[in-house]
Structure 1
């Protein structure tokens, strides 16, 4: 047993992170997820979208973030010896370089259909995922990863990075003419993830510096003023835009508690990679995580409500899989730093809910949304969109540290 240093001397429970049975269960689910998504390999190039049982959907539209997430996820899988991972990485890299990459204007188009461009917009959201895929592929030794990483880094620096605020702008037309003045948290949050991975892959401190500047804006500037909730949308001069509402999945109004979980974990990873300075980052990460747990957990049905209004009340009560996966990652991170019984209670609550309601034990993969009766639903999604969130939920707790999973997975792979 482990005794908490800040308790009254009572013993803490055994932690699932330490139990061989739980770790074996996580690895088993990872194997089922990878087996399910190997079915997305399209012999004509690129990847199929899959229905819930794992059959290809007729719509061959492939978003940039979907291609890149497959590359990244199977790069994680390769580090633990997943069969077929190299084939998936190679197929994704070919599609990124030969189809998504815009040979006329530079950058990477948002969506393709077959080998044709179906949406030529240039979005920061998609480009930071290209960086994530390139960095992850580099850790696997892919021969084209360095070129892809350098190319997308140049595009991000040239068209998206705004040095004065230390943040990324969001979107352009295909030919780099202005598309809108929108600025948003989501692309910047995923940029932190990509920058930390690129730093791990290359050792270049410029990536770490940019990640730190983005974190400073949201953690030091926005979160304390907003009750430790993070508004999603901003004007061109980075003022909160409280009236904005866009795509119901990617740009819903208000704040998204699931993103607080992600940013909490990313803050801890940045702090760890920066040498663990005495700057209060662990306390800030916990504050952000705990606010989202308090605000968003559905006490009657389980799972997390999707969005909050700016006053912290429920805006959209829809429940998706990915906030649960990101909460698992955040809670696992704080458990790795300090053992508290309350964190362990959350960790078990989250995994029990996922096992009961979200994991498809018959076909593999996770159901992406639930209806009001806790049954799988398809209001927002067709089939199973990707494995990026759910595979990280099962792999991150297995890594020995709190830095990005790639480094720890190499150790895990040697153990298995």
Structure 2
């Protein structure tokens, strides 16, 4: 049975609830062939067909468990079986049976391609596990228990309130790099785990990372450093020679400023009076800086991918996930403040999504556009990711807390 989501009024001026619901279901329909024969989720091509020449990635598998778990909670036919099949890949193929934790990716035969144990991927395993638990999927509870145990033992540094980023396969030593991207997705996962389990210590851990982000935003005028040394000193020049790196690009990442702006408000709503000071002010700072630096700054609409530390664009290609996070951040700020300007911005960016990113012929959204807003495949060939787009269709219709799976479950039961 399909369960519409209508727990709170949607953002005015933009797409209405019916359109957002239909778009969410259209996106999920695109991903129906995602289950890989080896286990986990396949990389999808432009038509939604599995590209079996590519490895099976833990982060993609986890995101697909998450979005189809949300689909199951919404009553979208077939979603529970897809999420369960992808979840099985996390329990078997992608899991390291010798040392524990999860490989970054495996090949079609199940042999590890990326043996490094990354916080980024493990945070998404926690998100997948928490959504699967809320959705009541088989095998979800032991997966989430293992994922949280590994995270606390290997990645969480309780003395600093921060996360380590990468380990070697055997967990002999953490690698020296520290990153804000893994920190960001750890916050997202911590909020979800806390909501799914009722263990509020996860929310408190998320708050400690957020305090670091508040300080970084103030120190760098809203352009967050992404890369750090082992002592958490910012490395502002990392990958200057590879500025379009898909996970560690040089400079300030516009979409991450928007994503952090949203997450800080989810954390504030979750913690209430015990939330760290300055979350709303920092959310505004990050949002305003990302919009000023990134939106419509080079002669064509769209958000550039990255800028240097003065705000000058570096990588000008348009990534679909940045526009998705922009609509969601604006909707979140509108819900928090009631200010009409945020609703107008969200509507403007949805217009951009519909005109340039939404692929009505082959499905889903184009993942990457060039500076003329034509489909490109420099960084993201194919359409492997439904996570940002699906969430963008849900967030305007839900309260700031609890996190998505718990909020969808509450809405479906209302």
Provide the rounded CA distance (Å) in 2 between the counterparts of 1:357 and 1:349. 12
Q: CA deviation at 1:308?
A: 1.3
How big is the alpha-carbon RMSD for the aligned residues of Structure 1 and Structure 2? 1.9
Which of 53, 70, 88 in structure 1 is aligned with 2:82? Answer: 88
Mean Cα deviation higher: 296-305 or 185-194? 296-305
Once the two structures are superposed, residues 270-297 of structure 1 have per-residue CA deviations (whole angstroms, 9 ceiling, x without a partner) of: 1111025583422321221111111110
* The 10-residue stretch of structure 1 (402-411 or 354-363) with the greater mean CA deviation from structure 2: 402-411
CA deviation string 1:153-186 (max 9, x = no partner): 1111212122232111111111113363000000
The answer to whether the aligner puts 1:298 opposite 2:292 as a matched pair is no
> How does the TM-score come out when normalised to structure 1?
0.91
Partner in structure 2 of residue 375 of structure 1: 374
SS in 1 for 2:77: coil
Q: Which residue of 2 aligns with 1:12?
A: none
1:211 aligned residue:
206
- CA distance 1:230–1:33, change in 2 (3 Å): same
User: Greater RCO between the two (CA within 8 Å, min separation 6)?
Assistant: 2
Which residue matches 2:283?
A: 285
Residue 137 of structure 1: how far off its partner (Å): 0.5
Question: How far apart in 1 are the matches of 2:194 and 2:161?
Answer: 17
Name stretches of at least 5 consecutive residues in structure 2 with no aligned partner: 1-8
SS of corresponding position for 2:268: helix
Offset, 1:111: 0.3
Please report how far the alpha carbon of residue 401 of structure 1 lies from its aligned counterpart in structure 2 after TM superposition.
4.0
State whether residues 229 and 235 of structure 2, in contact with CA within 8 Å, keep that contact through their aligned partners in structure 1.
Answer: yes
Matches of residues 3-402 of structure 1 in structure 2 within 5 Å?
17-18=11-12, 22-114=16-108, 115-178=110-173, 180-219=175-214, 221-245=215-239, 248-277=245-274, 279-299=277-297, 300-402=299-401
Q: Is the 8 A contact 2:181 2:226 kept in 1?
A: yes
Report the CA distance shift for 1:20/1:169 in structure 2 as closer, same or farther (over 3 A): closer
Displaced runs of 4+ in structure 1, greater than 6 A? Answer: none
Distance 1:374 1:134 in 2: 36
CA contact (8 A) 1:360 1:367 kept: yes
The alpha-carbon deviation at position 43 of structure 1 amounts to 4.4
Decide whether the 8 Å contact of 2:195 with 2:402 is kept in 1.
Answer: no
Indicate if the aligned counterparts of 2:35 and 2:86 stay in contact, CA closer than 8 A. no
Q: Give the SS at the match of 1:294.
A: helix
Mapped contact 1:80–1:414 kept (Cα < 8 A): no
1:180–1:45 Cα change, 3 Å: closer
Alpha-carbon deviation of 1:332?
Answer: 0.7
Q: Deviations over 1:374-396 (max 9, x none)?
A: 11111212210210011001111
Q: Distance in 2 between matches of 1:331 and 1:88?
A: 31
Unpaired runs of 5+ residues, structure 1, are: 1-14
Q: Which moved more, 1:128-137 or 1:311-320?
A: 311-320
Contact residue 26 and residue 364 of structure 2 kept, 8 A: yes
Aligned length: 400
Cα deviations across residues 345-371 of structure 1 (Å, max 9, x unaligned)?
Answer: 211110000000001112221100112
Per mean C-alpha deviation after superposition, the further-off stretch among 221-230 and 45-54 is 45-54
Deviations 1:49-90 (CA, angstroms, capped at 9, x unpaired): 221122222414111100100001111111211111111111
Worse-matched range after superposition: 237-246 or 183-192: 237-246
